[in-house]
Amino acid sequence: MQMETPLTQHIKANKPPMNLKEYEQAGGYQALRKVLKEMQPQDVQKIIKDSNLRGRGGAGFPTGMKWSFVPLGDDAPKDKYLICNADEMEPGAFKDRLLLEGNPHQLIEGMIIAAYAIQANKSYVVLRWAYKEAAELIFKALAEAEQAGYIGQNILGSGYALELYLHTSIGRYIRGEETAHLEALEGKRAIPRSKPPYSAVSGLFGKPTIVNNVETLCCVSHIVNNGSEWFKNLSLNGVGGTKIYGVSGRVKNPGTWELPLGTSMREIIFEHAGGMKEGFRLKGILPGGASTDFLTEEHLDVNMDYSSVEKAGSRLGTGTLIILDDKTCPVGMVHNLEHFFAQESCGWCTPCREGLPWVEKILLSIEEGKGKLEDLDILSFHAVNLGPGRTFCALAPGAVEPLQSSIKYFREDYVRHINEKKCPWR
């Protein structure tokens, strides 16, 4: 039986995305028509909740539950917001770009349905500044959708109205944190907010707001069209849906593939990515982007779903695997990552602002052959004290995941740097 790939079935390599007419001929906007004609906002929330759709941006929070936190009814605030986080800044992640450039109408339809489900009257696609081609394609698709009556006042005669805009961001990693994302959208410095209140109650401009990832929103129309059971059965374990997995590093065929949620790392790396390039051996894997813990060859049969990866000692994150090979220095790789995270700290809380640059300096010292064995204890100390619950947001805890796991799995490489007073890979 041919595997279903609802998110990417109409995306063709080296071909422009479907225009509005082509998208409609392929069944596009039928889910929106169904929702506006037959379903109440609570009905949409229920089908999404029953589908087990979880956020595809990294946190994996149940989408339908998240929507249900938004107040509905006559007493609810008049203005509500639905935000698509398309500011893809996680190192190693490029899955959303595929969807943005490959089928922008799919995203727009999902956003309109999601906005209806929470009765939002304003919506934004917040796009990473570097995605120039995606910006042009989304802007064109928005214009087509508005002209066809899918956006604006009295959509399809339903009485529902929605304004939907494209907003290009300046592109900072901290904007991956939901409330920092909203601060930046308000024109302020991107600094996370204290919680509570949560965004579903008091978000953008103090109004109820939902922020969802591109891939999450692209799932919505397919769930409405085909039902929650269909979506759950797409996965290998009933968790729900397909997942766009990506692989980067020294593999024969780096790229992205839409596969059943729960596909093993072994299949993703050795079947779809073609395995390692000749002359290179797999040494480590960051399974969900740069802010996840390393796993190793012994974990290749771990299924890429939320609970399985967590049990193995890491996180699914974005589902975009970064491969460490045996001819790349793990200390140098981790130093490169920590340099990025130190630069991208918003500077709001002391552990993150001071701790990450200190971690970076120690790693650089070890890489240059100036390290001491006690430096490993200092790095381990920072890995604990920059961990969950110790900082204002999740940037630093994510940043130290590759650090702490590299010391766990590749400690001998650190010791070799220190003893030989040089990087053995240079």
Give the model's confidence band at 42: pLDDT under 50 very low, under 70 low, under 90 confident, else very high: very high
pLDDT for 1 beyond 70: no
The reported pLDDT for the residue numbered 29 is: 98
> For the chain, what is the mean pLDDT?
95
Distance separating alpha carbons of residues 224 and 211, to the nearest angstrom = 20
Between β-strands 255-260 and 81-86, what pairing exists: parallel, antiparallel or unpaired? unpaired
CA 197 to chain centre: 23
Domains of the chain: 20-234 (3.40.50.11540), 242-325 (3.10.20.600), 330-420 (1.20.1440.230)
Distance separating alpha carbons of residues 285 and 333, to the nearest angstrom = 12
Any idea of the CA torsion for 187, 190, 194, 195, to the nearest 10 degrees? 80
More confident residue, 104 or 129: 104
Distance separating alpha carbons of residues 403 and 334, to the nearest angstrom = 6
> What backbone phi and psi angles, to 5 degrees, belong to 409?
-95, -25
Our separate counts of H helices and E strands in the chain read 17, 8
pLDDT tens-digit series, residues 183-217:
999 999 999 999 899 999 999 999 999 999 999 99
In contact, 399 and 382? CB cutoff 8 Å = no
Across the range 328-353, mean pLDDT stands at: 95
pLDDT tens-digit series, residues 108-126:
999 999 999 999 999 999 9
Q: How far are the Cα atoms of 173, 213, 254, 265 from residue 272, in angstroms, in the given order?
A: 29, 24, 9, 10
Any idea of the CA torsion for 13, 16, 18, 20, to the nearest 10 degrees? 160
b/e sequence 128-160, b meaning 16+ C-beta within 10 Å: beebeebbebbbebbebbeeeebbeeebeeeeb
